[in-house]
Structure 1
Amino acid sequence: MGILSRYIFRQTAGVLLLVTLSLTGMVWIGVALRQLEVLTSQGQNIGRFLLITLLALPTMMTLIAPIALLLASIHVLHKLSGDSELIVMTAGGMPAWALLKPLATLALLVALAVGLVNHVVGPWSQVKLRDMANEIRTDLMSFVLQPWRFTTPEEKLTLHIRDRSPTGELLGLMMHDARDATQVVTYLADRGLIIKQGTQAYLRMDKGHILRKVPDQPAPQIITFDSHIVDLNQLEQRVEQAPVARPRERPTYELWTLDPTDPKEAPQAKKALGELHERLVSPLYALVFVLVVVAHMGQAQTVRQNHTQAGIGAFGLAIGARVAGIAAGNAVTGKGNAVPYVYLIPAVAILLALFAIYWHAYPRAPSRLQRGLIAFNAALKERISGLFTRAPLPAGRSG
């Protein structure tokens, strides 16, 4: 990498780091505000609160990092043009490809980071978030649940106890679960005890009743039990059914080998397919963004306004390509035959940008058609401005 390439690389890398930290901070504040209830109403300490908010960031970084690279590339090229450095470089015979080398190197580094998050860090952080959510739910029932107070750990789930024994048993337990619209279940038990086995947690209830209300039946079903166990990780009645991990929590090889004909996997098969292809294609958008910026802003402009307009156009086209890619990924979850479009969108964007860079690699004299269009545009602007300009009055007359 030559002196010029190293100069552009350092400039862009510095801005990239600054923009990434700024966007990450903004996203972290948003996540922290949403998770503030964990600290206030669910009795968790500040350390666990910070860990939860930090674990939510890796998934967001796959969107933040390429956008930060896009903004950094636009800023640096706009600065080079504003300081006339780009004009001097072009006058010295520098092609647009020379700008692409340092920016493409940064794009490769960002793509590798996004791929690492997609395939390793992201699934791990999602699993840790799920485990911590289960721990919080267990801690809420074990320690935070207070006698004679109704507690709602999540929407449509209410807990109440009459008292707590010296051994930690929950006395006079009531748990009302209305999250499933097909049936509303209420558990009433004389005693309850939290049992932990590794990362799993269960609630054992002794001597009580289960009231199950189904919309089609006027009277509730009442079941009497001497002992009943509820899985707190899923809060389901049937603990023998192993919970199915969400696609975001699964490593890539599991998504690749997922069997859509498996009854347990069928409900999430399309989401898993969409997640798989999104992980594979999202690193490409770092290169797409850089190519679009160089195609629009890699040529010297003698008018500052022209380069500003080129920057706005590059940003709009790059974001438009990313939004189209996200839409194609969402379509995969509904229709499996939409998978080709997930890869077609970045591929077409890369090819068009490369063609534009090649066409404008060196300064060219405008063709006859281009000269005609420029002259027509200038004449049209002059004619339109003349319509709004008041003609001077003849001498000796006043308005």
Structure 2
Amino acid sequence: MYGKHLYVISLYLLRQLIGPFILIMISLIGIVWLAQSLRFIELIVTRGLTFGLFLNLTILIIPKLTASIIPFVAYLSATIAFLKLSSESEIIAMSSAGISNFRIILAPSIFGFLLVIISFILDSHVAPVSMNKFKDLQNNIRDKYISSLFQEKVFSSPVSGVTVFVREIDKYGTLRGILIHDSRDPKKTYTVIAESAKIEKTPEGPYFSAINGNRQEINYENLSISLLYFDQYSYGIKNITNQEEKRFREASERTTYELFNPHEKLSELHQKEFMAEAHQRLISLLIIMAMIILGTITSLVGEFDRRISLKKLTYSAFTAVSLQLYVIATIPLIIKSTEIIPLLYAIPIIVIIIFLLLLFDKKIKMVSLISIKKNR
């Protein structure tokens, strides 16, 4: 019978946690998604990108965004749920019925474990695939909507090694006062300056059709400089070689298995970046459990008092922010020194143990208090 009551209470607590979690998650994703979307709205209004491309770009960032905010949302949902239960004296009622804090924390632990599984799937598989598609789509936009990448009086780099500056873009899409600096060839550097230019799309790729200007070339082999004045000049912005290079997938675009077992040869820096990304994903799983327990014990530890509760809430929020910053800091720390990896795992485990000991400590104090009263 007691087991049935415990099951009902755990189910009730899970419902109390899931509601705030979904509400906060949707709200935060909506806010951040809207902030990210604002970067692309100008491209639709002034540069001709389709609404379909806009939706694709913004939707593909959601999995990575969701995975990154799960730890803090877990903390917020647990804190809000248990503060509500505490303010309505439901926690006191459970304690009076003989239900210990460890029984109460069972439901948040199950909820945290479910979030760990969801986060692992998102971080290890869904987010890397969506980020890879996002980067591929960005490259396609560079080719198909190359003119949308240029802004007035801003230096931009549509292709690695090429820098473009445009003084003005008129309503017909003509680029006026244009400078193109091309350093893709290690043996030669080209600089084109023209009064105006248009983007011409061909099967071979996009070209600048420049009018009234000059082309400067610096040859590093024979240390010579040549200058050519032109009335009209076509300048391709594809790679110099005819073979299209396969785009290198960054750490955020690879599954956790790929990060630990890369197929290609990598530089030392890329190896460290891959290792850092992989370990950050795993460490964040421990942080989720720490966050959910932290949010729960904020209401369970100590006596209920409004002033003390505010103080506890401040300490709790500070700890949660510190844990979130800890996750962010793991990548640069691992890149700097891989020897620190065991310590980075140990810290969240120790934090979880400390949080649980706080509950255990309260239980000892309660038992001691009851014993003293009986002796009297």
TM-score normalised by structure 2 residue count? 0.76
1:253 aligns with 2:257: yes
User: In structure 1, which of residues 51, 59, 74 is the aligned counterpart of residue 56 of structure 2?
Assistant: 51
Contact persistence 1:70–1:293 (CA under 8 A): yes
- Residue by residue over 1:295-335, the C-alpha shift from the partner in whole angstroms, topping out at 9 and shown as x without a partner, is 33224634233233323322221221232232233211222
Shift of 1:13: 0.6
1:38 aligns with 2:38: no
Relative to structure 1, the CA distance from residue 221 to residue 54 in structure 2 (aligned partners, 3 Å threshold; closer, same or farther) is farther
Q: How does 1:294-305 map to 2 (within 5 A)?
A: 294-299=296-301, 301-305=303-307
> Aligned to 2:248, what secondary structure does the other structure show?
coil
Higher mean displacement: 82-91 or 288-297: 288-297
Contact persistence 2:25–2:73 (CA under 8 A): yes
> Aligned to 1:176, what secondary structure does the other structure show?
strand
Contact persistence 1:328–1:338 (CA under 8 A): no
The whole-number CA distance in structure 2 between the counterparts of 1:310 and 1:17 is 25
> Aligned to 1:243, what secondary structure does the other structure show?
coil
- Residue by residue over 1:20-70, the C-alpha shift from the partner in whole angstroms, topping out at 9 and shown as x without a partner, is 111111111110122323323331112211221121122121222221111
> Aligned to 1:244, what secondary structure does the other structure show?
coil
2:372 is matched with which residue?
none
Q: How does 1:83-102 map to 2 (within 5 A)?
A: 83-102=88-107
For structure 2, the 5+ residue unaligned runs are 1-5, 158-162, 168-177, 229-233, 370-376
Shift of 1:255: 1.3
1:10 aligns with 2:10: no
Relative to structure 1, the CA distance from residue 77 to residue 214 in structure 2 (aligned partners, 3 Å threshold; closer, same or farther) is farther
Relative to structure 1, the CA distance from residue 228 to residue 176 in structure 2 (aligned partners, 3 Å threshold; closer, same or farther) is closer
User: In structure 1, which of residues 67, 74, 82 is the aligned counterpart of residue 72 of structure 2?
Assistant: 67
* AA partner of residue 352 (structure 2): I
> Aligned to 1:35, what secondary structure does the other structure show?
helix
Relative to structure 1, the CA distance from residue 257 to residue 145 in structure 2 (aligned partners, 3 Å threshold; closer, same or farther) is closer
Contact persistence 1:281–1:343 (CA under 8 A): yes
Contact persistence 2:280–2:330 (CA under 8 A): no
1:26 aligns with 2:28: no
Relative to structure 1, the CA distance from residue 35 to residue 150 in structure 2 (aligned partners, 3 Å threshold; closer, same or farther) is closer
Contact persistence 2:276–2:330 (CA under 8 A): no
1:113 is matched with which residue?
118
Contact persistence 1:93–1:362 (CA under 8 A): no
TM-score normalised by structure 1 residue count? 0.72
Contact persistence 1:184–1:213 (CA under 8 A): yes
1:314 is matched with which residue?
316
> Aligned to 1:132, what secondary structure does the other structure show?
helix
Relative to structure 1, the CA distance from residue 282 to residue 179 in structure 2 (aligned partners, 3 Å threshold; closer, same or farther) is farther
Contact persistence 1:185–1:212 (CA under 8 A): yes
User: In structure 2, which of residues 315, 328, 348 is the aligned counterpart of residue 346 of structure 1?
Assistant: 348
Of Structure 1 and Structure 2, the greater helix share is in 2
Q: Percent identity?
A: 20
Contact persistence 2:21–2:74 (CA under 8 A): yes
Q: Alignment RMSD, CA only? A: 4.2
The whole-number CA distance in structure 2 between the counterparts of 1:305 and 1:219 is 77
1:125 is matched with which residue?
130
Higher mean displacement: 38-47 or 275-284: 38-47
Relative to structure 1, the CA distance from residue 66 to residue 24 in structure 2 (aligned partners, 3 Å threshold; closer, same or farther) is same
Higher Cα Rg: structure 1 or 2? Answer: 1
For structure 1, the 5+ residue unaligned runs are 161-173, 368-399
2:240 is matched with which residue?
237
The whole-number CA distance in structure 2 between the counterparts of 1:145 and 1:78 is 49
Higher mean displacement: 247-256 or 319-328: 319-328
* AA partner of residue 114 (structure 1): S
2:164 is matched with which residue?
157
1:370 is matched with which residue?
none
Contact persistence 1:195–1:202 (CA under 8 A): yes
Relative to structure 1, the CA distance from residue 358 to residue 191 in structure 2 (aligned partners, 3 Å threshold; closer, same or farther) is closer
Shift of 1:159: 8.0
Contact persistence 2:302–2:362 (CA under 8 A): no
Shift of 1:101: 1.4
Relative to structure 1, the CA distance from residue 332 to residue 145 in structure 2 (aligned partners, 3 Å threshold; closer, same or farther) is closer
Shift of 1:3: 1.6
2:374 is matched with which residue?
none
1:279 is matched with which residue?
281
Relative to structure 1, the CA distance from residue 267 to residue 320 in structure 2 (aligned partners, 3 Å threshold; closer, same or farther) is closer
The whole-number CA distance in structure 2 between the counterparts of 1:191 and 1:312 is 58
Q: How does 1:325-336 map to 2 (within 5 A)?
A: 325-336=327-338
